[in-house]
Amino acid sequence: MCGIVGYIGTQTAVNILIEGLERLEYRGYDSAGIATVTEEKIESVRAKGKLFNLKEKLENHSNFSRLGIGHTRWATHGKPEEHNAHPHLDNQQRIAVVQNGIIENYQTLRDQLKEKGYQFYSETDTEVIPILIADILKDLPGDDPDKALLEAIGKAVHQLEGAFAIAVLDAHCPEQLIVARQQAPLILGFGQGEFFCASDVTALVPHTNTVLSLENGEIARLTPLGVEVYDFQLKRLRKLPRTLDWSATTVEKQGFRHFMLKEIYEQPAVVRTCLATYLNEQWRAADHPSHSPVFLGLDPQLTKNLQHIQILACGTSWHAGLVGKYLLEQLAGIPTTVHYASEFRYAAPPLTPHTLTIGVTQSGETADTLAALEMEKQRRLTLEDDYKPLILGITNRPESTLATMVNEIINTHAGIEIGVAATKTFVAQVLAFYFLALDIAFQRHSLSLEAIEHIMVGLRQLPAQIETILEQQGSAIEALAHEFAETQDFIFLGRGINFPIALEGALKLKEISYIHAEGYPAGEMKHGPIALLDAKVPVVAIAMPGSVHDKVISNAQEAKARDARLIGVTPMDDNQARSVFDDLLLVPHVEEMLSPIVAVIPLQLLAYHIAARRGLDVDQPRNLAKSVTVE
């Protein structure tokens, strides 16, 4: 939610800021703006809407400043208009601020500052920050502006409530950029005589692989000579940057029309990486091994004596959690509940002993998920041992805030995902649940060694099976998708382990194509939703081999009898299903337990091609942002 970027060094800041914002635009695209410092003056340019509007404004604009900040906005307080775009300035135009997050007490601060005579020109929460800093600065000695700015920001952050990451410029400090973080991500990048900050490493990798994630309650001062990190009391901290193993090309489209399509096609490689990382290749049931079939390296205390698992997540990650529940219950035999993080926090279920809480978030920054996990941790901290907090994170961003809050993480190794609609990170999250379920099943002897090995054999076939779908079905799915460019409603049906995939197929379609879509358990149709059906509402049914196959086919027939056009996700060799469906999204034959990972691929492609055919901005759908850092 909102992306911020900052630069100080030897190059022209504007180019670096714009390039950084391009890579952060997935975080919000309601408006964009930059501010630079030249000759003790702030120069700020802002534009409503997507970044290209700002770029247009900057054409024929010469600005060679080597210090600047930039912002791309996902509107929270105030409409997406230019006057609400960041950076925001104080009344003297001396201080410029960009912010990602929400200042919860902004109304109180605004009222106090107004009483002191300050004017406000936006409806945003952010505008209080530069005005507050300027107000504090005016009472500090002016002989050393660099020192005064740090001190003023140190004082200001204590008055701000909420989650925020800020970057601040002072017209009187042309050699200094100050940033602060409280529960919203902020990463620093270290170059040769130049330093960067950004909400996400994606904006940094073209320039440097040496990064430092700021932690909550930290302020950093960036100058052309280096970076100093302080806590909010302005005590200097010693921090060591780390090296990223990403290259600039990981954040490029590499010939694909959209990042989402590229990311869909990356899935075989992602699955291969996860299998190579977590699955023990040497493990054979016949050897009666005493060690786990997977290398998760989790502290045994986390999974010993478990009686209950609760999964907290949002959106697509919540769907992965639903598949996880199926696996943890059916393979590992542990009762599992799945909660929307945004609901859990305000109506937490009664505490149960020996409970593992799993937070699933690809970004590791989703405010609802983090807040729910924190709440769960806090309410267990003071209880006796049986109730102690056992918290596991499943994330694609091991450097994220999530990782600092949990006992352990499973890194999903999907590589950076730029498309706002999650695809490869979903598949990697689901895989993480297979590994976890196998690990616990092995420890608790809830599955025979042979059954474990059988699943491992199936998992190893997944990359080639996904490749088959992408290679053999890609064009057919595209052609089919074109027939639905004008459709207004879709229903997705699944049962058992594939009910979450029906939900995911519907979510993918609605978020990128703006077509109304619903996912239902196929057996529920007759209890109400079947009334929606007619010839104008296509029904996509996931009919994979296994315990519910025939039931799904029957439910699909019921839809057909109401004139719905039936599209089946079904194996190439399933002649029964082939004769029922009007259109087919064919996948290789896999066992029920492994079917979600193959079933979701054609649904991702269907959603993508419908949206692309409708000429929509697939990677940046309206009103959405990749990383939802507000509650």
**Which residues are catalytic, by number?**
2, 626
Type of residue found at 165: A
The residue among 196 and 259 lying less far from ligand F6R, judged by its C-beta, is 259
Contacting residue, 273, 361, 465, 555, with ligand F6R by CB under 6 A: 361
| Number of residues in contact with ligand F6R under rule CB under 6 A | 15
Using CB atoms, what's the residue nearest to ligand F6R? 315
The residue among 66 and 73 lying less far from ligand F6R, judged by its C-beta, is 73
628 binds ligand F6R (CB under 6 A): yes
Nearest-10 Cα torsion for 327, 331, 337, 342: -30
Q: How far is the CB of 511 from ligand F6R (least distance, A)?
A: 6
Q: What is the CA 321 to chain-centroid distance, rounded? A: 15
CB 618 within 8 A of CB 611: yes
183 binds ligand F6R (CB under 6 A): no
72 binds ligand F6R (CB under 6 A): no
**What residue has token string 């060690």?**
291
Read off φ and ψ for residue 455, nearest 5 degrees. -65, -40
Interaction with ligand F6R in 508-527: which residues (CB under 6 A)? 511
362 binds ligand F6R (CB under 6 A): yes
Q: How far is the CB of 360 from ligand F6R (least distance, A)?
A: 7
Contacts with 201 (C-beta within 8 Å, 6 or more apart), sequence order: 187, 189, 211, 244, 246, 399, 416
543 vs 602: CA distance, rounded Å: 13
184 binds ligand F6R (CB under 6 A): no
* Axis crossing angle, helix 595-613 with helix 499-513, rounded to the nearest 10: 20
Q: How far is the CB of 393 from ligand F6R (least distance, A)?
A: 10
Stretch that binds ligand F6R, among 192-200, 355-363, 485-493, 546-554 (CB under 6 A): 355-363
342 binds ligand F6R (CB under 6 A): no
Classified as helix, coil or strand, 394 is strand
Interaction with ligand F6R in 365-424: which residues (CB under 6 A)? 366, 369, 421-422
537 vs 216: CA distance, rounded Å: 49
Stretch that binds ligand F6R, among 212-220, 291-299, 358-366, 555-563 (CB under 6 A): 358-366
Q: How far is the CB of 575 from ligand F6R (least distance, A)?
A: 34
263 binds ligand F6R (CB under 6 A): no
Stretch that binds ligand F6R, among 139-147, 362-370, 487-495, 531-539 (CB under 6 A): 362-370
Nearest partner of 131 among 139, 119, 142, 122, judged by Cα: 119
363 binds ligand F6R (CB under 6 A): yes
Q: What is the DSSP string of 107-168?
A: HHHHHHHHHTT----SS-STTHHHHHHHHHHTTS-SS-HHHHHHHHHHHHHHH--EEEEEEE
Stretch that binds ligand F6R, among 357-365, 449-457, 548-556, 587-595 (CB under 6 A): 357-365
201 binds ligand F6R (CB under 6 A): no
521 vs 500: CA distance, rounded Å: 9
Q: How far is the CB of 512 from ligand F6R (least distance, A)?
A: 8
| E-strand stretches of 289-432 | 308-313, 336-340, 355-360, 390-395, 408-411
* Axis crossing angle, helix 315-330 with helix 424-444, rounded to the nearest 10: 20
Interaction with ligand F6R in 299-338: which residues (CB under 6 A)? 314-317
Contact set with ligand F6R (CB under 6 A): 314-317, 361-363, 366, 369, 421-422, 507, 511, 627-628
